[in-house]
Copies of this chain bind each other. A is one copy, B any other.
Amino acid sequence: MAKVKVEPGPFIVPMPTVLVGAIVDGKPNFMTAAFVGIVNFNPPIIACGLNPDHYTSKGIAETGVFSINLPHEGMVEETDWCGIFSGKKKDKSTVFETFTGETLQTPMISACRLTAECRVVNTVPFAIDTVYFGEIVGVHVDEAALIDGNPNWSAIAPILFTFPDNGYWKLGEYIAKAWSVGKDFGK
């Protein structure tokens, strides 16, 4: 297949769509983000690339903690709204019913079926965005989105994001089990 060179951009992998939560000026605030990925196995650490000028970033810098909230397909409008409007101009503290993490007092969204409390352990600034490395210290999952005590990803129904089409997508069909389906490849 002929390959075409395209202009490099921040689009080479599908991304998770999350709502990053923090207390800012004493109130819960949430922003939509997709520059997010797990980077260390144990302790579990997530990297979040956020512009430090965001209202949420101000709260993270002040409190040293943030939450990751996974919206499901049915929350796509409010999720997108939280990416369009800044907490500097809109009060986002009443958009969602929230609960507070016992471990870090981070605000989390009740309607999200999986949420996590993260403590900032390092930051690395780049030209536009700063990477906030958060150790994941508390995870909360809807009882109905668990299977044998573990997250049931079909029930969590996370939203994926792609550039440069600015697309929101569903998690699709299950394909196979890792460390298993390929063990006899080439035999």
Residue among A141, A158, A176, A183 with max Cβ neighbours from chain B (10 Å): A176
Inter-subunit contact A173/B169 (CB<8 Å): yes
Inter-subunit contact B40/A79 (CB<8 Å): no
Inter-chain CA distance A153–B172, complex, in Å, is 13
Q: How many copies does the complex hold?
A: 2
Inter-subunit contact B80/A183 (CB<8 Å): yes
Inter-subunit contact B1/A151 (CB<8 Å): no
Interface size of A by Cβ–Cβ distance < 8 Å? 104
Inter-subunit contact B37/A36 (CB<8 Å): yes
Beyond A3-B99, A81-B182, A124-B124, list 8 extra A-B contacts (CB 8 Å). A2-B142, A12-B38, A32-B178, A35-B38, A40-B131, A41-B49, A80-B176, A166-B178
Query: Which residues of A are at the interface with B, using a C-beta cutoff of 8 A?
Result: 1-16, 18, 32, 34-49, 68, 70, 73, 76-84, 95, 99, 102, 110, 113-116, 122, 124, 126-129, 131, 133, 136-144, 146, 149-151, 153, 158-183, 185-186
